[in-house]
Amino acid sequence: MKLIEVEIIDFKSIKREKFKLNGNQLCFVGKNECGKSSIIQAVSYLNFLDYELNHKLLNKSSKSYPKGYPIIIGVFEISKETFVKLRELIYAEIPNLSRTIPKDSETSLLQIKRWGNGISNISLILTDRKNYSINITENIEKKAKFWNDFYENIYPNIEYYESEELLLEPATIDQLLSSDKKYETFRRLLYISGCDDLTILDADDDNFISTYLSNLEDNFNEILKKHYKQDESINVRIQTIRGNKLSLVIRDNTKLSFAIDERSPGFKYYFSFLINKLFAKQKNGSKKTILLLDEPGNNLHPQGSKDLLISFNEIAKNSQLLYTTHNPFLTIRNNVDALMFVYKSPKQGTKINQKPFLNKYQIIRKELGILLNDSFLLGDINLVVEGNTEKLAFHRFFQIEKYKKLEWLNIYNAGGVTNISQTINYLGENNLDLAGIAVFDSDKEALNEKKKKGYLKAMKSKKWASVEINDAFSDKKERTFEDLFPQDIYVKAFNDYCNSIKDIGVFDNNYTNFEYTKPIEVPIINTLEEHFFSFINNDRKRQNSITKQDIIRNVLDTIDKMEKEEKGKALMNVYKLLDKIVNEYKKIEKYVAN
């Protein structure tokens, strides 16, 4: 089961809000007290057996206040295999009802609605939103047995963590054997190290315990070295302190020993998160997990944030992850649709801006403090691009294994081709004395920019170079960045973008798709812009523009889903351009190092 939609009603600062999950990761950003944490916490109550609602969670403006409960609704997509399991479960409990359910389905959805505690306050509706809709819970007699079987065998595992719950404190055997959540991470560390029965540690034989703990240490350190790349010298010992407490001792290349509490907050968080992640994978097997994290890794170094994001990406391959952050290094760069901007309205409460691309993602970038063009945090070698479209695309290109060397190359948005010469002058020897590569379209505007003194002077330096789109082609036609991609894919992405905004007042006339029937003269964007503005009245054309970065995001999402050979063909021209950038980077790198 995959969570695809959530609706929250009367939960804390949220009056009513609904949002969709476009993938397996979702990252919420926004100001403090805007309600990001409330959204994550509300989703956790879809875990209807483990987490109990209470009256204090109710929005104070609700008609049900103060004695009512919030309402949480989750819509899940069901795989063909899960549908068969669910149908068998329904058939076992309600034989007559199963006759109205298809034998198999790849389009069915399951809606869980919760408005209180206990199974009497939950509804379960199976539907495909077209042909049938069945309220299963109305027909179940043995509700307790049904819900237990459903929860154990079909429903995803939903776990919610606040930072203070991801702690590793020394614990006695009695504390580890208790249900106190404070020691859950320690229990999980022992489990993934090979201890699936904690009562073993309660033995009286000290020699046995010492040998047993030593084996657990070896197992855990082997696991740790596979996943923690920041400092491969780290070694963990599990030892007894003050007579009866187990504790973790960390050793690194200083040859000194430190208690886990003596390490940095960032290390402790990542270390604890890694344990919980590995536990979930080992314990749940093929069962899906929805992991909810409130402000993960606030104290992490940028490299630690990168490691954490890698862990997030691994989780997202098989499960789902929703989290809040203020950390710009923890935002999802490869799927901007997975970024949600949260804000609070005095009248409407907490709301989610689900179309942040309409303002060129500026509001998200501002809230995260990553208007890097205003920052001194610039790289020794910078890739200067014309705009946000290229900035977004190159971030994703640099995730390709062959071009990982460029992953942390600072991509500097010049804010338009006419600003590139000025940008190079600012970054170059006249000011910051940094190095870089400028990326140009192959058009008249770029040609004019290359004639400016700032550009010509910079290119005389061995620390600067430039590439252009036509470096990927063998002719001299006029082209822009959009022409690097197959035209059929770009046109489809363009149509998808236009259809996504047609209901918010952009167009004055009904939008109809651009029909791609034959190759379009380059630059392709000229033809598509003409089509776009044909649906807008003349007096409003200056007020509107195409958000090209959202189209390119759709293009790259489509290509990412292709098989390896097909993907290679679609990115053929991109690879040629990236190879050129790599070559220039290698030349410049020698002079920067010296």
pLDDT score recorded for residue 372: 42
Nearest to 224 by CA among 235, 216, 212, 213: 235
Distance CA 386, CA 549 (A): 12
pLDDT score recorded for residue 512: 96
Sheet holding 349-353, edge to edge: 133-135, 122-127, 109-114, 71-77, 2-11, 14-20, 349-353, 339-345, 25-29, 320-324, 289-294, 157-162
Structure tokens at 559: 């290509």
pLDDT score recorded for residue 353: 81
- The ranges assigned to domains in the chain are 164-276, 371-594
pLDDT score recorded for residue 551: 93
pLDDT score recorded for residue 502: 86
pLDDT score recorded for residue 103: 81
Cβ contacts of residue 120 below 8 Å, gap of 6+? 143
* SS3 of residue 276 by DSSP: helix
The list of the chain residues with pLDDT below 50 reads: 360, 370-377
Structure tokens at 337: 């649709």
Distance CA 280, CA 192 (A): 10
